[in-house]
């Protein structure tokens, strides 16, 4: 009776594994460390006092993954494993298609072989493409993604919809994450990007810790209250609890369900910088520069469906997330590297 967590040593996966262990789930992680470190497992143990079983395997490796299904009594899967860098995906589209879609197909094949019915999938608000309105609801149009990363998420959503049509006994939760930030309150696990961060919060914390000189604010002429881009920043601990809510939902055998996991509140780049400065009493120098290609004015969730159907909603706010991101960064200036 175990939950298989692919990508369980990654940023969102590790926070979800902590929550699962704290709720007494039996957890099995599969990760190939392409974007995470073994040290994460020690940190999970420090927080929970528990050691999930771990297999260093590429989810695309069918034979390797089969050994996990043979050894473990898997009842549910949470599929985080995937590559997530938008910029890299435009340079290496083939890698993104083969890794993200390939891993999902291999996993589904083995789930059928071993009669595993329940899967929670990490999708993204990126599937909404360039929104013509906000807040975004689950039945709004999807498509029009501007990069291969987003396309892989969209394609996997379609694959899962066809699976659900074909296999009426399968239960599938597609979770569309908005912008995860923050870290576990212990400061022991958090986001550990390789190289120059693409995303806003890790960039802010690296400026705060002195690793980078200033933040580049990409554009100040968006149609938003202060001209900078508006997003829905959700604390990663809230996001993690959304996965436990989804697992409980799947016990009701709903077939296919889709939920936005966001807060429902839009926050601009400058709002987030101000919140960070206030929460931590640290200055974050910034320079306004050109827009980043592909960015949209505003993107935030209508998160009411997840509350109505799963009883889940975000409890933490951006000030909590700013405090916890900083706590993680200052205690681990080099991330998981000693
Ligand atoms: P992450 O890179 O920190 O975690 C992903 C984990 O998957 C890593 O530990 C990596 O080593 C592992 N992995 C990748 N390919 C693998 C493979 N073939 N076999 C085994 N392990 C593999 O990313 P994250 O931020 O935790 O994101 C988790 C999931 O959520 C991803 O699918 C991502 O696309 C999706 N998502 C993330 C965000 C975000 O902003 N972080 C937003 C929307 C959706
Ligand atoms: C990006 C990805 C999206 C992915 C998500 C989570 C793009 C176009 N979109 O979303 O597909 O699902 O990350 O991984 O890359 N910003 C700055 N300076 C920075 C970094 C960001 O001003 O150094 C601004 C951006 O212009 C944006 C906001 O901060 O307005 C948030 O950016 P980011 O954290 O990269 O997330 P998204 O662009 O929403």
Taking only the tens place, the pLDDT of each residue in 87-144 is: 999 999 999 999 999 999 999 999 999 999 999 999 999 999 999 999 999 999 999 9
Q: Does the annotation mark 149 as catalytic?
A: yes
Q: What is the mean pLDDT of residues 1-21?
A: 98
Q: Residue 40 in contact with residue 34, Cβ under 8 Å?
A: no
Return the pLDDT at 272.
98
User: Closest ligand to 260 CA?
Assistant: 1
Comparing CA positions, the residue from 178, 180, 174, 177 lying closest to residue 309 is 174
In the predicted structure, residue 50 carries a pLDDT above the cut 90? yes
Q: 3-state SS string over 100-160?
A: HHHHHHHHHHHHHHCCCCEEEEEEEHHHHCCCCCCCECCCCCCCCCCCHHHHHHHHHHHHH
Taking only the tens place, the pLDDT of each residue in 137-152 is: 999 999 999 899 999 9
Pocket test for ligand 2, best of 91, 191, 223, 295 (most atoms within 8 A of CB): 295
Return the pLDDT at 192.
96
Return the pLDDT at 146.
84
> Looking at 128, 149, 233, 259, which residue is catalytic?
149
Q: Does 220 contact ligand 2 (Cβ within 6 A)?
A: no
Give 288's contacts (C-beta < 8 A, 6+ positions apart). Answer: 217, 219, 220
How far apart are the C-alpha atoms of 334 and 165, rounded to whole Å? Answer: 46
Tokens of 68: 């996990």
Q: Does 33 contact ligand 1 (Cβ within 6 A)?
A: yes
How far apart are the C-alpha atoms of 250 and 171, rounded to whole Å? Answer: 6
Comparing CA positions, the residue from 253, 252, 272 lying closest to residue 263 is 272
Query: Buried b vs exposed e over 88-124: b needs ≥16 C-beta within 10 Å?
Result: bbeeeeeebbebbbbbbebbbebbeeeebbbbbbbbb
Q: What is the mean pLDDT of residues 256-273?
A: 98
Q: Does 262 contact ligand 1 (Cβ within 6 A)?
A: no
Return the percentage of the chain with pLDDT > 70, whole number. Answer: 100
Q: Does 217 contact ligand 2 (Cβ within 6 A)?
A: yes
In the predicted structure, residue 188 carries a pLDDT above the cut 80? yes
How far apart are the C-alpha atoms of 140 and 137, rounded to whole Å? Answer: 5
Residue 294's pLDDT band, with cuts at 50, 70 and 90, is: confident
Q: Does 231 contact ligand 2 (Cβ within 6 A)?
A: yes
User: Closest ligand to 299 CA?
Assistant: 2
12 Cα nearest atom in ligand 1: 26
């Amino acid at each position: 009776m175990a939950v298989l967590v692919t990508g369980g040593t990654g940023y969102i996966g590790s926070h979800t594994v902590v929550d699962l262990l704290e709720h007494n789930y039996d957890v099995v992680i599969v990760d190939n460390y392409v974007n995470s470190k073994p040290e994460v497992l020690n940190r999970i143990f420090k927080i929970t006092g528990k050691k999930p079983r771990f297999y260093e395997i590429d989810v695309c490796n069918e034979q390797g993954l089969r050994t996990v299904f043979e050894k473990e009594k898997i009842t549910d899967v949470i599929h985080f494993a995937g590559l997530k860098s938008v910029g890299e995906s435009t340079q290496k589209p083939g890698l993104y298609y083969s890794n993200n879609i390939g891993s999902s197909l291999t996993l589904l094949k083995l789930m059928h072989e071993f009669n595993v019915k329940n899967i929670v999938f990490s999708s993204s608000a990126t599937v909404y493409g360039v929104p013509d309105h906000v807040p975004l609801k689950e039945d709004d149009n999807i498509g029009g993604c501007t990069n291969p990363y987003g396309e892989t998420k969209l394609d996997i959503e379609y694959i899962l919809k066809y699976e659900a049509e074909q296999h009426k006994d399968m239960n599938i939760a597609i979770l569309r994450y908005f912008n995860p930030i923050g870290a576990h309150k212990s400061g022991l696990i958090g986001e550990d990007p390789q190289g120059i961060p693409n995303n806003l919060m890790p960039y802010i914390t690296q400026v705060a810790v002195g690793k980078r000189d200033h933040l580049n604010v990409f554009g100040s002429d968006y149609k938003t209250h202060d001209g900078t881009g508006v997003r829905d920043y959700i604390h990663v601990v809230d996001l993690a609890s959304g996965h436990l809510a989804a697992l409980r939902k799947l016990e009701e055998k709903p077939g296919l369900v889709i939920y936005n996991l966001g807060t429902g509140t839009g926050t601009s780049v400058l709002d987030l910088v101000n919140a960070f400065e206030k929460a931590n009493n640290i200055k974050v120098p910034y320079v306004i520069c050109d827009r980043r290609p592909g960015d949209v004015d505003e993107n935030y969730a209508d998160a009411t469906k997840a509350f109505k159907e799963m009883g889940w909603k975000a409890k933490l706010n951006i000030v909590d997330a700013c405090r916890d991101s900083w706590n993680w960064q200052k205690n681990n200036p080099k991330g998981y590297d000693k």
